[in-house]
Amino acid sequence: MSILDVVSNEVSKWCQPYEVAPFTVVPTFLLYPSNACVQVFVEGGRDSFVVSDGGGAIDVSLGLGSGKLDATRVLKTAAKDASLYVNSSGWIYAKGASLRSLTSIISVVADCSKSAAEACARSFRPESTSDFRKELEEFLTANFRDRLIKEAVLLGGSNKKHRYDYAIKTGEDRLIVIDAVMPDSSSINSAIVSHIDLRNAKRSDITQRIIYDDRLEWKSSDLSLLEVGATSIAFTYAEQNIDRLAA
């Protein structure tokens, strides 16, 4: 058996559509921040189809736990950018897809659902006994004032827009891009994905940092993961590190 045969066989197992009436479900190679596979749900007739994410993105947002998140707003923004819709149950969908456009619409819906889930993870503010995010914002506001950009939106190497918690303008026309993360998989994965994409943009004017609250309990494996996205800084050392970078 050739390598082509082996790979083709494995790919067909992964992406083989299956039926969950009234839908045909198409698995994809995309992953949500929760590491669940993005799947696309197709229903309709022979010439016109409705293609949706089966509520995958909204399910990710519901799995984030207790905290502040306007998931409907985030999903609708992501869907609008992709010329898609969101129904009352939070499903992202395309209507009236033709047979000729079916495969491309499946790709668009899958990509939009993944991006929407990542946006939900980034916008989510978990309930915590720690005032980490508030303390960080107070420090940055007090020290950088007019130089501080909150919720900075930047293009990654894939030309996708990502939202970062903060950006600080320095005197050398550079930006220090900062994200604050909590010890949960959605927060960690979202920061890693967006920072990798920003790094792939190869902008020499940008310095990236991820700040975590070292007063909370962290797994060593999660701390190692943060470094995949960008250099990480413990919150108790953040002031001296950021002051030095911004000098």
CATH assignment of the domain containing 181? 3.40.1350.10
Q: Please tell me whether residues 140 and 121 are part of one structural domain.
A: no
Q: Are residues 28 and 76 in the same domain?
A: yes
Q: What is the pLDDT of residues 94-108, one digit of tens each?
A: 999 999 999 999 999
Domain boundary pick from 95, 126, 157: 126
Report the C-alpha gap between 94 and 164 in whole angstroms.
29
Give yes or no: residues 10 and 119 share one domain. yes
How many domains is the chain built from? 2
The mean pLDDT value for 197-218 works out to 92
How many of the other CB atoms lie within 10 Å of CB of 107? 15
The arithmetic mean of pLDDT across residues 44-66, rounded, is 89
Give dist(CA 163, CA 11) in Å, integer: 33
* 122 and 153, same domain (yes or no): no
How high does pLDDT run on average in the chain? 90
- CA nearest neighbour of 113 among 37, 191, 183: 37
Domain boundary among 79, 99, 126: 126
Can you tell me the distance from the alpha carbon of 101 to that of 49, in angstroms, rounded to the nearest whole number? 10
| Domain of residue 155, residue span | 132-246
Same domain, 140 and 105: no
Residue 110 shares a structural domain with residue 19: yes
Same domain, yes or no, for 121 and 150? Answer: no
